[in-house]
Structure 1
């Protein structure tokens, strides 16, 4: 008996991977062709491809092939097929028509001509004909027209083979199962798993990469969960052969599950984790992989000794994510890999490969794959120090700078000169020397003086009207001349992109170097960090607010709400406060605040640190605690898994101020501040409180170019 010829279709650019897979399944003559791969073999080989292929979309068995010049030829070719060998008049069928044929402008017309041919043949021979069922037919027929030829095939797969059967819900922008498998196979997961390596997806979404990784590692046939294939309603189906293949697959699955472990998926979205766990259960893999809600910055190996593959499909703008936030996201991903996954391999599948340059890792190679119509790249990394690179923009050398760069240099020198005497008289060692003075260079430049001079540069996100290429060139010009003008080594210049921070981004880390440096301000000592967070730990525009708190503090009980790194508490304690209470939701910032207090030798039990949601804490303390001086400096907007609801300072400021005033003694002062530039305080709603705007009085000289940098009020109970 001559061998059968099969065609397995695959997504674009996956034909070679499919041919490699089929060869490993025993189809030694499998070769890549247009749209997939061909191979010859027995019906058992076809069944094996349906059951085991992780890459294929469909498996077709060609039954007719002929030249055709139009719809009439299509009809005659289809009518000559011995359809009675494939289905009975009592069966149902469906037709899929792909390709181009003269005289057929729409695929539906091609479907109708083939349907008529099948119906007419059965009517002539049996007196009645099978019915069409487009949704759940007994037999699917595939017709392909190309360059004047027609190919007719039996679709042995039925529904697309990428539908494994475990996924019935999805989060936004999920990968199809066969694309996820292709990403894993291209990333070398099969070999890593065979050596006992671990798999981790830090942005797992609906869990597809982790579950496909488990199927590969445990040698589980991807079709084992499917209840039905296209051949089940085919007259030539060989059920004993199929059952034998299923039995072999179940034995391999049971053996593979005994050695399966080390698969983890994290996601910031709790709904995504819920869906992942549901899919894991449907796949019969509960207990064999671990899904957990975690921020990207909290991702780490399951065990310190683990090594293996980090695989991730981060947002890339086409379907998910705010494009303005994506460079920071990729930078954080790179930092997490470099800090916690040294020795691992990593695969990043993205439709915006240029974002990979933000990761600070040199890609070893890349593969092109398609997520639907979107061309994507799989970037391959080895997480080893020799491949670490800077993710900062490369400065332009002097000979490539434009004449406007000279204007920037001159402006920085001029600003420094005008601030020099004031800086010396006020004992200011950390100051802003440039704040988007020139529209071409939308930067904020701060100097921090300690045992060295450090420069902190932040770029304001450019409006959409600005050419991104030109904006990046100007940034590179600035980063090239700043070290020269300020006479600091390039490694002491730190660069970040400044964007409005919302929600969970308030507390997200950019890195985890834990590199802290000591600086001083008016005789107070503080620790700053230039790498791990968007802000350094010391808000320079609040310098005069802190001085006011220190001046008001003698003999007072001081409360610092939304305390950040506790700098205001240091001023209050050093100013003579009898006690300070520092409240913040972030443990990291409270630990930082403790370090700042200790650095200034403030170690009394009278100075307490409390980790809590400030809003709920105020509600609980309203009748139990009283303070003489309160500093209330909330973020403009905040939401967190630890926070009760959300905070919108424009919407919520009246209630928040009133809650703070309930714990303020008569005659006491509440200093209320925020940095929402469009903020408008509701004086009518706050009556009869005495509210005095001190924004201008608390604006430091080095921020005079930007008077809306913060808003500040001194609020007291009414004298009456």
Structure 2
């Protein structure tokens, strides 16, 4: 059974491992920013189509014991590369890792590239073209602890690119990170989902896709596995048709608030691009005043509010979080809530007891996802009347 590696962001590894098991993978082993697993070729195609948490899927083809230039060259040269080049005219090599023998990735990549070129030239008498800018196929070598493992790209361009983000706000979350945050929040996929700081709408769109059971990769034009020798069009079309048949109508209230008008317009454009018009409700409203109304049953609030590394000056943020805490305790009793932040200082102004917290990375920024249960006792809710917007 083929072996694969799924790449992702820091903090998502265990969630991705769970997702891969759900999608049919075996021998699942989380690593740093990656998960190793095994599955059939067809299951790997299904994973590419469905995964919400992986950014890339690579297929393992060669393991080289040793890290010297000679051993890596001989190990790569000895593999039968010809089947991968029957549909490939141009390729590129990525190299990850260094050691005493391979002191920079460029040198390591050159060794692997030379071995593949020599292999194909010996087999066909022709030299394949190399182009880092627009390759048909990407081959990645990963050097770690004296072993060089070589992979062939299976998924293609980053899987976080769902194709619906026409534009973005000032501090966007990548789609796979948004999906990971939603999963870590504990949302059941069925109850009400509210984002008080919806920005360009990424959390809302990912939540709606989860509720509708829509495969995240349906809008992608092509995956790299079409270049692999085992690929059969009719089998992939059957996998895709099955995914389309499993989609359901929206069955939860998915609600977003955003105070800035032009940012809300971006959210509307992205929602339309995702084909989710009518499935997500939006309102231009300040988060410190936003309420959903009594007809919306308590569910989950999942939001990425402004924090120090992002938007807003410190005085504005202090006022925002104090007022936000009052709104939450007044109008969101019995809700679950998960908020992103860089550290807990601002969240202390909410005057709420946190339940759990988890570490993630948003690009280069270390962030926390802090969870709360807004119980009646926690909120100490008085006789506060709220005005509904929906």
User: How does the TM-score come out when normalised to structure 2?
Assistant: 0.92
Secondary structure of 2:60 counterpart: strand
Counting only pairs closer than 5 Å after superposition, residues 650-689 of structure 1 correspond to structure 2 as none
2:176 alignment counterpart: 178
Question: How many Å apart are 1:513 and its aligned residue?
Answer: 6.6
**Per-residue deviation, residues 190-224 of structure 1 (Å, max 9, x unmatched):** x2x33xx2111111111100000011111111111
Question: How many Å apart are 1:90 and its aligned residue?
Answer: 5.3
Which whole-Å CA distance do the structure 1 matches of 2:122 and 2:182 have between them? 52
Which whole-Å CA distance do the structure 2 matches of 1:382 and 1:71 have between them? 56
**Contact between 1:140 and 1:155, CA under 8 Å: does it hold in 2?**
yes
Q: Which moved more, 1:88-97 or 1:54-63?
A: 88-97
Q: Runs of 5+ in structure 2 lacking a partner?
A: 386-390
Number of equivalent positions: 385
**Per-residue deviation, residues 527-575 of structure 1 (Å, max 9, x unmatched):** xxxxxxxxxxxxxxxxxxxxxxxxxxxxxxxxxxxxxxxxxxxxxxxxx
Query: Out of 211, 218, 233, which is 1:217 matched to?
Result: 211
Which whole-Å CA distance do the structure 1 matches of 2:168 and 2:19 have between them? 27
Q: Runs of 5+ in structure 1 lacking a partner?
A: 391-511, 515-720
Counting only pairs closer than 5 Å after superposition, residues 124-139 of structure 1 correspond to structure 2 as 124-139=122-137
Secondary structure of 1:39 counterpart: strand
1:333 alignment counterpart: 324
1:63 alignment counterpart: 61
Counting only pairs closer than 5 Å after superposition, residues 252-651 of structure 1 correspond to structure 2 as 252-253=246-247, 256=248, 258-301=249-292, 304-388=295-379
Which whole-Å CA distance do the structure 2 matches of 1:89 and 1:280 have between them? 36
1:114 alignment counterpart: 112
Q: Which moved more, 1:16-25 or 1:178-187?
A: 16-25
Matched, 1:236 2:234: no
Secondary structure of 1:86 counterpart: helix
Which whole-Å CA distance do the structure 1 matches of 2:291 and 2:78 have between them? 63
Question: How many Å apart are 1:150 and its aligned residue?
Answer: 0.1
Secondary structure of 2:288 counterpart: helix
The structure 1 segments of at least 4 consecutive aligned residues displaced by more than 4 Å after TM superposition are: none
2:245 alignment counterpart: 251
**Contact between 1:362 and 1:381, CA under 8 Å: does it hold in 2?**
yes
**Contact between 1:361 and 1:389, CA under 8 Å: does it hold in 2?**
no
Question: How many Å apart are 1:375 and its aligned residue?
Answer: 2.0
**Contact between 2:121 and 2:128, CA under 8 Å: does it hold in 1?**
no
Which whole-Å CA distance do the structure 2 matches of 1:119 and 1:294 have between them? 59
Which whole-Å CA distance do the structure 1 matches of 2:205 and 2:29 have between them? 28
Secondary structure of 1:206 counterpart: coil
**Per-residue deviation, residues 699-719 of structure 1 (Å, max 9, x unmatched):** xxxxxxxxxxxxxxxxxxxxx
Question: How many Å apart are 1:242 and its aligned residue?
Answer: 1.2
Question: How many Å apart are 1:79 and its aligned residue?
Answer: 1.8
Which whole-Å CA distance do the structure 1 matches of 2:227 and 2:265 have between them? 36
Which whole-Å CA distance do the structure 1 matches of 2:55 and 2:47 have between them? 11
Matched, 1:208 2:202: yes
1:682 alignment counterpart: none
Distance 1:386 1:52, change over 3 A: same
**Per-residue deviation, residues 387-427 of structure 1 (Å, max 9, x unmatched):** 2489xxxxxxxxxxxxxxxxxxxxxxxxxxxxxxxxxxxxx
1:35 alignment counterpart: 33
Query: Out of 16, 19, 26, which is 2:17 matched to?
Result: 19
Greater relative contact order (Cα < 8 A, sep 6+): 2
Which whole-Å CA distance do the structure 1 matches of 2:87 and 2:290 have between them? 59
Question: How many Å apart are 1:182 and its aligned residue?
Answer: 0.7
**Contact between 2:10 and 2:32, CA under 8 Å: does it hold in 1?**
no
Question: How many Å apart are 1:28 and its aligned residue?
Answer: 4.6
Distance 1:34 1:295, change over 3 A: closer
**Per-residue deviation, residues 442-485 of structure 1 (Å, max 9, x unmatched):** xxxxxxxxxxxxxxxxxxxxxxxxxxxxxxxxxxxxxxxxxxxx
**Per-residue deviation, residues 320-354 of structure 1 (Å, max 9, x unmatched):** 22133222222222222111111211110111222
Question: How many Å apart are 1:74 and its aligned residue?
Answer: 2.5
Which whole-Å CA distance do the structure 1 matches of 2:286 and 2:261 have between them? 11
Distance 1:89 1:388, change over 3 A: closer
Question: How many Å apart are 1:367 and its aligned residue?
Answer: 1.5
**Per-residue deviation, residues 573-596 of structure 1 (Å, max 9, x unmatched):** xxxxxxxxxxxxxxxxxxxxxxxx
